Amino acid sequence: MSEPANVVDPKELAREREIRTMCERGDDHGATTLALRLYGREILQFLVHTHRDEQAASEVFSLISEDVWRGLATFRWQSTLRGWLYAVARNASHEFRRSQRRHCRSVPMSHDERVFLDVAAQIRTETLTFLRTESRSALDRLRDELTVDERMLLSLRLDRGLSWPEIAEIYATESEALGNPSKDAARLRKRFQLLKDRLRKRGRELGIIPSRDDV
């Protein structure tokens, strides 16, 4: 369960610059659609892996799609677009779990928004179909015992390979006072390490991970 190297994909950054240019010239529909096509699949995978429930993940993804539609134009680009989308995903997940209600729309949709949400629905269907064919690893079975928040932290670091400063930004909220980014990142890293240690111990108990005596 080693940590990933922090590698920035230059093609990904180039696409993000393209999206930013679209936003700056007022092409909100093009920007949001490209953002969803670029990161929508991995965001939905993240939700399925952390919620362990396709229906819940689909509901949260719908909320995220609307938040992206309404919020991308005001995104300040002080972090990567990918990091911002994961922050949106985490907030939407919390909102969904707090409400415990199925998502229902109360705001009329424009034509462009309907087209955009059709794209979101297509990405959702294609991704869920793909995930149903994925084999579950031993680590996946261990993750079933974790809370949604614990799975989120594990996935952001191990599956998505985000840096600790990026993860600290995702865990920050607008209502929180500005803290010390270095301390926030260190706190999350310590929490992550304790979580990994707990998973190793549980894995040895279940025989999924060899005990030290067997190595």
Candidates 141, 170, 137; CA nearest to 153 is 170
CA–CA dist 215, 211 (Å, integer): 7
Question: Per-residue pLDDT for 178 more than 70?
Answer: no
User: pTM of this prediction?
Assistant: 0.72
Query: pLDDT-based confidence at 175, cuts 50/70/90?
Result: very low
- Distance between CA 64 and CA 33 in Å, rounded? 13
The crossing angle, in degrees rounded to 10, of helices 28-51 and 111-131 is 30
Q: Which of 38-42, 127-131, 182-186 has the lowest mean pLDDT?
A: 127-131
Q: Which ranges constitute the DSSP H helices of the chain? A: 10-24, 28-51, 54-71, 81-99, 111-131, 138-143, 148-154, 164-171, 181-206
Confidence of residue 71 (pLDDT cuts 50, 70, 90): very high
Tell me the domain boundaries of the chain.
8-134, 138-215
- Rounded to an integer, what distance in angstroms lies between the CA atom of residue 156 and that of residue 50? 10
